[in-house]
Amino acid sequence: MTLVTTDAVVLHVQDYLESSRIVRLATREHGVQSVLARGARRPRSRFGSSLDLFASGVAQFTMKPGRELSNLTGFDHTRSRMSLAADLDRFAGASVIAELALRFAHADPDPHDEAFDILGRSLDEIAHAPPDTSTESALAGAWRYVAALGFGPTLDRCCACGVELVADRVAPFSHQGGGVVCAKCVRTLPVGRDLPADARAAISSWLANEPVSPLADLARRAHLRLLREFLHHHMSDGRTLRALDGWEARLRRPA
């Protein structure tokens, strides 16, 4: 049995028996961990409200080889991010980032320091985004997270032959190839859809941590579709990404 102390973010919380909770944590050193917070639902629990969804803190838990559920012994809460629960757009975007971490952070045994930092930073950005731009912040966070796990799309040059592509033109995008494709290679790779120059510029800016102007509704929906298709090709294990589907359905609804 090993006692672990690590930075962590609460990704999912579920009631367990009468007084406890099972919490899924993204951790800096140990990927995604399921931990049992005994007594967390009791009024005077030592965990208080520290285990709220999307909160960050320093978690302490005991890991046993072969056991899927570890015992959470402490959670020193450093950031609550309550505003994510207070607004449906923010909540939908934050849930997608949490879903990416839940689904993919543990797929690789290497600790992904950068992805862990991007997870926290993206949740902060969605929480503090100006009104009506939390969707753009969440899209930016999702692409950065994907890139930190090593699946970032190629946008400035052909993903097959490497030739540079002019920035101000529409470019065919190949999910299979993982990026835009030049006119020559377009015959050799399956191409999903054409990526307009402004959409390509937006994703490049997000990946470079540059601010992007708010998108029109149609452009938002096109970005969501592209992200969903990309994740499906590159990272999916066949299961649907429910938070992503819910986010997309929400954007399709008339305001």
Which residues make up the interface to Zn ion (CB under 5 A)?
A: 158, 160-161, 182, 185
Which of 93, 95, 101 has its CA nearest to residue 235?
Answer: 101
Q: Which is nearer to Zn ion, 9 or 160 (CB)?
A: 160
The position carrying tokens 């020559």 is 184
Residue 255 to residues 84, 95, 136, 217, 244: CA-CA distances in angstroms?
A: 20, 20, 17, 10, 19
At closest approach, how far in Å is the CB of 163 from Zn ion?
5
Q: Which is nearer to Zn ion, 185 or 215 (CB)?
A: 185
At closest approach, how far in Å is the CB of 178 from Zn ion?
13
Tokens of 91: 């909540």
At closest approach, how far in Å is the CB of 184 from Zn ion?
5
Q: Which is nearer to Zn ion, 18 or 164 (CB)?
A: 164
Residue 149 to residues 11, 54, 116: CA-CA distances in angstroms?
A: 17, 20, 10
Q: Which is nearer to Zn ion, 48 or 162 (CB)?
A: 162
At closest approach, how far in Å is the CB of 189 from Zn ion?
8
Are residues 205 and 211 in contact, defined by beta-carbon separation less than 8 angstroms?
Answer: yes
At closest approach, how far in Å is the CB of 167 from Zn ion?
16
Sign of CA dihedral 174, 176, 178, 181: negative
Q: Which is nearer to Zn ion, 164 or 237 (CB)?
A: 164
